[in-house]
A and B are shown apart, each in its own frame.
Chain A
Amino acid sequence: MNSRIMIKKFLFCFLILNTYYLILNTPALAQHFSSNNYNIDWGNFNISSGDKSSGNYRLSDTVGQIAPGTYQKTGVLLKSGFQYIYDIFITFSFSIDNLDIDFGALTPGIASTAANTLTISTPSGHGYQISSHESRPLSLENGTTIPDTVCDNPCNESTSNVWTSASTYGFGFNASGVGASSYFTNSTYFRQFANLAASPAETPQIFMSENSPVKNRQTTVTYKVNISPIQPEGIYHNYIVYTAVPKY
Chain B
Amino acid sequence: MPSLQITPATLEFWLKPGATYTQSYQIQNNDSSPVILTASIDRWLPQGFDGGLNYPGLPLDLNFSLTNSDLRLGNSFTLNPGQNRQLVLKISSPATLSPKDYYFTFFVNQQLEASSSNTTNLLRLGSHLLISVSNSESEPQPISIGLFRLSPSIHDTFFGSSTFTGLIDNQSDFFSKIEGTISISKNNTPLLQMELFPSNVLAHHQRSLYCLKQDQPIPCRLDPPLWPGFYQATLSLKNSESTQTIGFLVLPYSLIAFLLLIFSSYHLIKYIKLHLARR
Contacts and interface: CB of A to CB of B under 8 A. Distances in A.
A99 B122 contact: yes
Contacts of B51: 126-127, 211, 247-248
Interface residues of B, number: 63
Contacts of B26: 85-86
A138 B50 contact: no
B200 interface: yes
Contacts of A241: 109, 121-124
A125 interface: yes
B223 interface: no
Given A127-B50, A211-B217, A248-B128, A92 B6 contact: yes
Interface in B102-144: 103, 105, 107, 109, 112, 115-128, 130, 137, 141
Interface stretch (A8-16, A29-37, A100-108): A100-108
A155 to B, nearest CB: 18
A127 B207 CA distance: 14
Nearest to A225: B118
Contacts of A78: 13-14
Contacts of B10: 89, 123, 126, 246, 248
A212 B218 contact: yes
B153 to A, nearest CB: 24
Range class of the A interface residue count: 35 or more
Given A91-B6, A245-B53, A247-B51, A125 B217 contact: yes
B128 A246 contact: yes
Contacts of B130: 248
Nearest to B1: A97
B118 A75 contact: no
B181 interface: no
B215 interface: yes
Contacts of A82: 24
B210 A240 contact: no
Nearest to A89: B8
A94 B8 contact: no
Kindly name the residue among B3, B117, B121, B197 whose own CB sees the greatest number of chain A CB atoms within 10 A.
B121
Interface in B156-200: 175-177, 179, 197, 200
B199 to A, nearest CB: 8
23 contacts: A74-B177, A75-B141, A85-B26, A92-B127, A94-B125, A95-B2, A99-B121, A101-B119, A124-B215, A125-B217, A129-B53, A213-B216, A213-B217, A236-B118, A239-B119, A239-B122, A240-B119, A240-B120, A241-B121, A242-B123, A243-B107, A248-B10, A248-B46
What are the nearest 10 A-B pairs in CB distance? A247-B51, A95-B3, A89-B8, A100-B117, A93-B5, A92-B9, A123-B9, A245-B126, A101-B119, A243-B124
Interface of B: 1-10, 12-14, 24, 26, 28, 30-31, 46, 50-56, 86, 103, 105, 107, 109, 112, 115-128, 130, 137, 141, 175-177, 179, 197, 200, 202, 208, 210, 215-218, 239
Given A95-B1, A124-B216, A241-B109, 14 more contacts: A89-B10, A93-B3, A98-B1, A99-B122, A102-B118, A122-B9, A126-B9, A127-B50, A127-B217, A138-B118, A238-B120, A241-B123, A246-B10, A246-B126
